[in-house]
Structure 1
Amino acid sequence: MHFLIAQSKLASDMGEEMQWLSQLPWLLLVMLSLPLVIVALATRVFPTRLWAGLLAIPIICSVLVVFSPDWLVVVALVDGMILIVTTIDFALLWRGSGGGSCTGIEVTREIGRSGSLGVPMESTLRLRNRTSMRLVGEFCDDLPEYFTAEPAVHSLDLLPGMETKALARLTAHRRGAFELEKCYLKISSPLRLWQRQVTLAVHDRVNIYPDMKQLADYALLARTNRLSLIGVRRTRRIGQDSDFERLRDYTRDDNYRHIDWRSTARRNKLTVRQFQSDQSQRLIFMLDCGRMMTNHRDGYSLLDHALNAALMMAYVALQQGDAVGMICFSDRVHAYIPPRGGASQMNRLLQAGFDQFPRMVESRYDLAFLHLSSRCKRRSLVTLVTNVVDEVNAEVVVDYLSNLTGTHLPLGVLLRDREMFVAADAPQHAALAAIAATPAGELPPPASESIDDFTMYRAAAAADILVWREEILTGLRHRGVLVVDAFPDELTAPLVNQYLDVKAKHLL
């Protein structure tokens, strides 16, 4: 009886010993691999899916150890082989890719110093492999916020001593100055068990300006007398410009009374006299960069739309020979460009306005107009681009623009809120859109009666605000202030038309 109990106890002890031995390969593999994993994380070298797949082999063998202790030796050999292979592969990757400094990998970037908002610009990365190993993996450029790239990632397969070139099209969705500081590489080891992430410093600065394609479009349409295609109307001048400018070839839209017959006979080609308009007049833009300009339309802020329209009007004015200046302000004056003429002034205006953004602060109109009065004594067309949403703000705008009459010719550009007009003109559609945009937990499921009530109240509130806004515009006009009332995305043509109207009527 005692013999049977001892034999049973011995078998139980042997089973526990075998169970512990079955776990020994796993414990051994973990203990030996732990330093390697720590080194890998410190050096930004990470195991791949293939490395994880290799672990399936010792898992299967360890399961077999439970049924047959003979598999214990096989598990130990497999663990040792995996450890040796992964260590060698890691060492090859680390040494072959240049060690900690990655001195054998060189990257340069070729990109323009400036770009336009929303217009793709080309960026070229050149990567040279001066290491002793073949670089396989992928790499990508550093993308600042508000940038997108096509393609975003480039594949990499580069032999030692070779060079590759990758072309991408970067698109900026915001104006301003941006820094491209790095290039990111992901390099695989020779056996694809490890993957190293490398960051290389490649510093470039890119200035993103408003899209100036509209200036080229205007110049082209102006040469062919087709400005009506972009909403700019021909304004009939009071009187006739009599200052001779130059002779040029006749075009179909020229007045036949301007044909110079002597020059035509001498050149044997129809030639007309071109007259220049009054020059040396002054325009000053005052761009509000405060909280009133923070709303967005079509992905751009009100200030973006205002700046685009102002630059277009400045381009037209400079083409007419006028001097243009600009003041950007919010709670302080951020930039001031004195009025000047010439083609170089357009670059100064771009440099002053491209990195101005709307700020969540109250605009100090008093500081802006004090800055104007102290630096601009000569009569000018002062164009204030802003938005009015409350009575306090509107009263300040009306007072300061009205006080300019007599000294300057004030022009108030007030931007419309399209949602407000839609709510007043199509209340049912606007109400349904507002309900659909409201989070589910904030409103109960609307019944037809509640929708009708919501529509009625929303339309009434929008109509009341629009009536108040029209009273503000009427008050400005009665005080001698010119007014442009337009939607932000449709501002350019009305603003240019207003300027041409001022020139035609000689109001300056």
Structure 2
Amino acid sequence: MQPTRHLITIAIIWAMVGFAASLWEPLAPIWLWGGGVAAVFILVDIVAGFLQKLPTVERTLPGRFAIGIEQMVPVKLHNPGAMSLRVQCYDGLPGDAVSGELPWTGRLPARGHAAVKYPVTISERGLKDFAPAHLRIFSPLRLWTRNCRSGENQTTRVYPNYEPVLRYALLAMANRAEQMGIVKKNRTGMSREFHQLRDYQLGDQLSKIDWKSTSKRLSLISRDYQEQRDQTVILAVDCGRRMRALDGGVPQFDHCLNAMLLLAYTALRQGDHVGIIGIGGSDRWLPPVKGVQSMTTILNHLYDYETSTSPSDFSEAAERLMTRQRRRALVVMLSNIRGEDGHQLIEPLRMIRRRHVTILANLQEESVTKRIETPAAALDDALEVGATAIYLEERAKVLGELRAHGIFTVDSLAKELPIALANAYLGAREMV
């Protein structure tokens, strides 16, 4: 049991009266009488506090959280005792969780309960543990408090922020994906997958005429083709130390995950298979899955991906990828390369390019872009701008060499990467 502010205030007042009684003797009886009465109430209150039955806590966690997205957590506090209780409750949140409405303070009716909902925002992905709640129970006269913990340890999953995927889904249902900047290109007839027969139209190529049907109908009949389905897209995400850098307060790695989710959703809607492989300190592999319902599988696979302090070994990653994906596919590698990575990166990507259509999605650092656009007002500023220009020139040189070897490249800021990557996928898909 711990004293409250009320008990400390009573003790201070009694001490002040005692000091005054030492200076003026007529106050001594009042001091003694008041102290005796206060002691009785204090003792009765502490005994009553010990006899109070402890409340219990039931927490209902949402099925999933998304980083940076506020979620409501319902909590029910039960009072099994015959007296009402005044309680202060602070739930056992994970270390990276924030709630602006805790601790909750209120009264629990006798043999009743109180239902509480509080908002929680979690800033990191992965498995998160909610510990038992911390309770502070006030004695009947609120002179003492008793601390205890109640409830269960519960675990929940925190996923990447897939809001862009949901927004795209809603727009796609209304055939308005172009509002997000995703350009759907019409490539009918390029993939040679037969769709249907139709009447000949002026301008149709002779190779599209179905002569057998034409001879039966005695009129020209053309074959209609559609984009080939059942292709495979492999997302290779760099989990090395370069991806730990912050961009807009969020690690670049999380920006990549958001872009991967939108690309995965786009590919699944196109009827393609989507697989995922981790490179740079990670040996994770998700075999290709198909169907929009497979987004749940992809989310469950990606939610606990973490970066490491290891450098990215692109040669080893290329060998693993070639071993696990032998059928021709579209490989999308997401990383943050620099000029010095050229000799380590170009040859592995060339090896992948021999079998697969390859896209390298490279993240630009927003701070670097801002620095090159800021006017130089002093010598130090000019030196920084010059070094930044050299840095960007070396990166552009590596990307140019990759393009010369037939590798598609996307060089984009983190906030623009999801849309740029989706457009690159739609542009390269006909090459698979």
TM-score (norm 1): 0.75
Correspondence for 2:366: 418
The count of aligned residue pairs is: 404
Determine if contact 1:140/1:154 at 8 Å carries over to the other structure: yes
Shift of 1:486: 0.4
Determine if contact 1:332/1:367 at 8 Å carries over to the other structure: no
Structure 2 unaligned regions, length at least 5: 197-223
Correspondence for 2:386: 460
Determine if contact 2:318/2:349 at 8 Å carries over to the other structure: no
Find the aligned partners of 2:317 and 2:72 in 1 and give their Cα distance.
Answer: 39
Name the structure, 1 or 2, with higher relative contact order (CA <8 Å, separation 6+): 2
Correspondence for 1:54: 10
Q: How does 1:36-185 map to 2 (within 5 A)?
A: 45-69=1-25, 71-96=27-52, 98=53, 102=54, 105-185=55-135
Shift of 1:73: 4.9
Correspondence for 2:303: 354
Residue 140 of structure 2 is aligned to residue 190 of structure 1: yes
Determine if contact 1:185/1:199 at 8 Å carries over to the other structure: yes
What RMSD over aligned residues (CA atoms) do the two structures have, in Å? 2.1
Shift of 1:427: 3.3
Find the aligned partners of 1:92 and 1:243 in 2 and give their Cα distance.
Answer: 83
What percent of counterpart residues are identical? 25
Find the aligned partners of 2:325 and 2:232 in 1 and give their Cα distance.
Answer: 10
Among candidates 315, 321, 343, match of residue 366 of structure 1: 315
Deviations 1:281-335 (A, max 9, x none): 11111111111100112222111010110111111111111111001233241x1
Name the aligned partner's letter for residue 388 of structure 1: I
Find the aligned partners of 1:169 and 1:156 in 2 and give their Cα distance.
Answer: 17
Find the aligned partners of 1:66 and 1:394 in 2 and give their Cα distance.
Answer: 87
Shift of 1:344: 4.2
Shift of 1:459: 0.7
Name the aligned partner's letter for residue 398 of structure 1: I
Correspondence for 2:419: 493
* 2:111 counterpart SS class: coil
Among candidates 286, 294, 301, match of residue 337 of structure 1: 286
Q: How does 1:274-289 map to 2 (within 5 A)?
A: 276-289=226-239
Find the aligned partners of 1:501 and 1:321 in 2 and give their Cα distance.
Answer: 16
Deviations 1:425-484 (A, max 9, x none): 2234xxxxxxxxxxxxxxxxxxxxxx5111111111111111111101101111111101
Deviations 1:188-215 (A, max 9, x none): 1111111222211323221111222322
* 2:69 counterpart SS class: coil
Shift of 1:275: 7.4
Residue 330 of structure 2 is aligned to residue 388 of structure 1: no
Determine if contact 1:89/1:193 at 8 Å carries over to the other structure: yes
Name the aligned partner's letter for residue 272 of structure 2: D
Name the aligned partner's letter for residue 300 of structure 1: V
Deviations 1:2-30 (A, max 9, x none): xxxxxxxxxxxxxxxxxxxxxxxxxxxxx
Correspondence for 2:431: 507
Determine if contact 1:138/1:153 at 8 Å carries over to the other structure: yes
Moved more, 189-198 or 360-369: 360-369
Name the aligned partner's letter for residue 227 of structure 2: S
Determine if contact 2:322/2:352 at 8 Å carries over to the other structure: no
Among candidates 256, 260, 264, match of residue 306 of structure 1: 256
Which of the two has higher C-alpha Rg?
A: 1
Deviations 1:222-267 (A, max 9, x none): 233322221112323163676449xxxxxxxxxxxxxxxxxxxxxx
Determine if contact 1:287/1:329 at 8 Å carries over to the other structure: yes
| Distance change >3 Å, CA 183–CA 491, structure 1 → 2 | same
Residue 240 of structure 2 is aligned to residue 290 of structure 1: yes
Shift of 1:398: 2.0
Name the aligned partner's letter for residue 491 of structure 1: L
Find the aligned partners of 1:500 and 1:475 in 2 and give their Cα distance.
Answer: 23
Determine if contact 1:134/1:160 at 8 Å carries over to the other structure: yes
* 2:153 counterpart SS class: strand
Find the aligned partners of 1:224 and 1:243 in 2 and give their Cα distance.
Answer: 27
Shift of 1:69: 4.7
Name the aligned partner's letter for residue 186 of structure 1: R
| Distance change >3 Å, CA 235–CA 343, structure 1 → 2 | closer
Shift of 1:117: 2.3
Find the aligned partners of 1:85 and 1:322 in 2 and give their Cα distance.
Answer: 76
Determine if contact 2:134/2:149 at 8 Å carries over to the other structure: yes
Find the aligned partners of 1:292 and 1:230 in 2 and give their Cα distance.
Answer: 29
Find the aligned partners of 2:299 and 2:313 in 1 and give their Cα distance.
Answer: 23
